[in-house]
Amino acid sequence: MEVKTSRKAVYISLPKKYMAGLVKNYELDHGLFIKGLPSRLGERYVKAYFKEWGTITVCEIKVSPDSGINEAMAYVRFSTEDEADSADWAGPHIIGGSEVEVRRIVCPKMKDSDDQVAAVPVTLQN
């Protein structure tokens, strides 16, 4: 039985030694999750900061208007695993005058088409 799910990315943060198991079974995108980013900064600023370590394929910034704090989060995806590792290991990172928290993450690759839906196998137990 398969359950249809919405097309949302799953970001996974694991120690490097455990990522080998994921690499065997999935094609992965490699990137960083950045927390504590000043909310006044845009994607161009974040891309310019991280381009020193490689080619950035995606940069997304989210600001929570309800949080009451003046901080944002960002996801930066690199073209290779080595580039993402280099950017992670180069820390601590100070972006826009603030030291930010950076976590190395992976995300299973998804098709770009919006009309596709991921299928998740489900086993029912009695």
Amino acid at 59: C
- Examine residue 126 and state whether it is found in any structural domain, yes or no: no
Among 87, 91, 83, 102, residue whose Cα is nearest residue 37? 102
Query: Is residue 38 in a domain?
Result: yes
- The domain total for the chain is 1
Domain contains 102: yes
DSSP characters for 53-110? Answer: GS-EEEEEEEE-TTS-SSEEEEEEEESSHHHHHHHHHT-SEEETTEEEEEEEEEEE--
According to the model, what pLDDT value does residue 64 have?
72
Residue 23 in domain: yes
Per-residue pLDDT tens digits for 43-61: 999 999 999 999 999 999 9
CATH of the domain at 37: 3.30.70.330
Does the model's pTM come out above 0.75?
Answer: no
Answer whether residue 115 is part of any domain: yes
| Domain interval for residue 68 | 2-121
Average pLDDT across each block of 10 residues of the chain; the chain has 126 residues. List them in order.
59 76 80 91 94 94 74 92 93 92 87 44 43
Domain assignment present for residue 66? The answer is yes
- Whether residue 93 lies inside any domain: the answer is yes
